[in-house]
Structure 1
Amino acid sequence: MRLAARIVGDLRQVLAAEVRAGERAAMAAIRAETEQVKAELRRQVTSSFGGNARGIANAWRSQVFPRSGQSLRPAGLVWTKVPNVIDAFERGALIRAKGGRKFLAIPTGFNAARGRRGRGEKGVRVTPAQMVASGQAFLRPFQSGRGFVWCLPLRQGEQTGRRRRTRLLAGGLAEIGTGNRKGREAWARGMLQRGMVPMFLLLPQVKLAKRLDVKGAAERGLRRLPGRFVAAWERESGRAAP
């Protein structure tokens, strides 16, 4: 038995077409996998911290190289604009006070303009320095003895708005508010009875729980990439199964 074979067409053109198909497949695979890894990391943030962490979630960004054209050796980069935050919650970091200070000052949210749920001026915050300068701040120890609640006295201000609701002020530095009328009234009665607003928690150190798995997301992406590349190359070269 004699077997014979011959190449149909121009071999150089056939190989060049295959290389171009490989370049398109490589770019498509890297682009899709980069987007999937970024999407997974964003979901990790929102599932761990809730909807209030969308800013941190959206800080994950991605880029594929080369930015234009095709290549058999593309690269995908996923990074975050808040690396210190991500690193702390991936490692479960232990955070201590620095610079000779004994305590970390952790805001409760009431230090924001119009309070924790208010809609005051964007970016307005009562700082620890303002707490000290006010001369009104006082401490209440935790029952555990591990730290303190740093408070300002609560007082009533003027009545404002069509409903003539009484403004509640923390030491004259920040207006306190809640999200709805019933909640505001119930909360206000309790706070007035206590006569104080918890502005900061003072703790010597904080151990963050490990909530993120950045390394795992990257490793899963690398394991998926070869299969994604082969499937894309078959589509680009016309060998995909119908």
Structure 2
Amino acid sequence: MRLRAAVGDLRQLLAAEVRAGERAAMSAIRVETDQVKGELRQQVTGSLGGNARGIANAWRSQIFPRTGQSLRPAGLVWTKVPAIIDAFERGAVIRAKGGRKFLAIPTGFNAARGRRGRGEKGMRVTPAQMVASGQAFLRPFKSRRGFVWCLPLYEAQGIGRGRRRGRRTQLIAGGVAEIGTGNRQGREAWARGMLERGMVPMFLLLPQVTLTKRLDVKGAAERGLRRLPGRFVAAWERESGRVA
């Protein structure tokens, strides 16, 4: 009778320990997966700047099993933009495709801001529009390794909303799109200076671009794996009540 009671108690104790282990395993995987994802997001914003928040937030995670508990859970971290992440992790060389000689890289003047002027891939003016305008022209780099693809710059005539907007100098690139629409301090002097130059650079044409290695995805994963056993043991002790 005593032996049966002891075995019964042992089974209950083991079952409770298994349940504690399952909760601990799920907790450790969940916390560590979130930490790896957070580290990868920080790598992107730290290396590529605040404008890369969209790329950073493309890191996602999932825990398996999705419901219930398990002693063998798994955590998955992935990105919705794998090509971009791979390029910055390897330090890839990007070349023009489809028989083209140059990559067309939009300048800051050609970047869409807010909802205004949003075109293909966030550009105010696309390469196709540059060609169709019949006004685009090239200026070679001093190094002769590429070109600046420009449009002539005009002052908009008869355009304005309200007295304040009507007094502002509005710049139109090649009759295609307005640029420099911000209300920053010194904007009028800047706009007049641009008009004196008579042109605005819209694209940089380069045969290839070499990206520096800025991300360490493998390192983040390996650091997470090294932390996981200790995190699991600590969580199991908490779940089983062996520590306060």
The TM-score normalised by the length of structure 2 is 0.90
Q: Which residue of 1 aligns with 2:91?
A: 92
Provide, for residues 178-217 of structure 1, a one-character-per-residue CA deviation record: whole Å limited to 9, x for no partner.
5334342232122112111110000000000111111110
From the superposition, tell whether residues 132 and 123 of structure 1 become closer, same or farther in structure 2 (CA, over 3 Å): closer
1:87 is paired with a residue whose SS is: helix
Q: Which runs of 5+ in 2 are unaligned?
A: none
Distance 1:112 1:32 in 2: 38
Does the aligned pair in 2 maintain the 1:118–1:178 contact within 8 Å? no
Return 118-127 or 170-179, whichever deviates more: 118-127
1:216 is paired with a residue whose SS is: helix
2:108 is paired with a residue whose SS is: coil
Q: Which residue of 1 aligns with 2:43?
A: 44
Return 178-187 or 100-109, whichever deviates more: 178-187
Q: Which runs of 5+ in 1 are unaligned?
A: 1-5
Distance 2:118 2:12 in 1: 62
1:10 is paired with a residue whose SS is: helix
2:228 is the counterpart of 1:225: yes
Does the aligned pair in 1 maintain the 2:135–2:174 contact within 8 Å? yes
Q: Which residue of 1 aligns with 2:213?
A: 210
Q: Which letter does structure 1 place at the counterpart of 2:32?
A: E
Q: Please report how far the alpha carbon of residue 82 of structure 1 lies from its aligned counterpart in structure 2 after TM superposition.
A: 0.5
Distance 1:34 1:143 in 2: 48
Does the aligned pair in 1 maintain the 2:170–2:181 contact within 8 Å? no
Distance 2:61 2:51 in 1: 22
Does the aligned pair in 2 maintain the 1:24–1:71 contact within 8 Å? yes
Q: Which residue of 2 aligns with 1:177?
A: 180
Q: Which residue of 2 aligns with 1:3?
A: none
The TM-score normalised by the length of structure 1 is 0.91
Q: Please report how far the alpha carbon of residue 7 of structure 1 lies from its aligned counterpart in structure 2 after TM superposition.
A: 4.4
Q: Which residue of 2 aligns with 1:35?
A: 34
1:67-146 counterparts in 2 under 5 A? 67-113=66-112, 120-123=116-119, 125=123, 126-146=125-145
2:195 is the counterpart of 1:192: yes
Does the aligned pair in 2 maintain the 1:111–1:174 contact within 8 Å? no
Q: Identity over aligned residues, as a percent?
A: 83
Does the aligned pair in 2 maintain the 1:21–1:233 contact within 8 Å? yes
2:13 is the counterpart of 1:14: yes
Instruction: Find runs of 4+ consecutive structure 1 residues off by over 6 angstroms.
Output: none
Output the aligned Cα RMSD.
1.8
Return 207-216 or 187-196, whichever deviates more: 187-196
Q: Which letter does structure 2 place at the counterpart of 1:208?
A: L
1:53 is paired with a residue whose SS is: helix
Q: Please report how far the alpha carbon of residue 8 of structure 1 lies from its aligned counterpart in structure 2 after TM superposition.
A: 8.1
Q: Which letter does structure 1 place at the counterpart of 2:77?
A: V
Provide, for residues 131-175 of structure 1, a one-character-per-residue CA deviation record: whole Å limited to 9, x for no partner.
111100000000111100000000000341331212110001110
2:156 is paired with a residue whose SS is: strand
Distance 2:41 2:234 in 1: 26
From the superposition, tell whether residues 99 and 48 of structure 1 become closer, same or farther in structure 2 (CA, over 3 Å): same
1:182 is paired with a residue whose SS is: coil
Return 210-219 or 6-15, whichever deviates more: 6-15
From the superposition, tell whether residues 32 and 209 of structure 1 become closer, same or farther in structure 2 (CA, over 3 Å): same
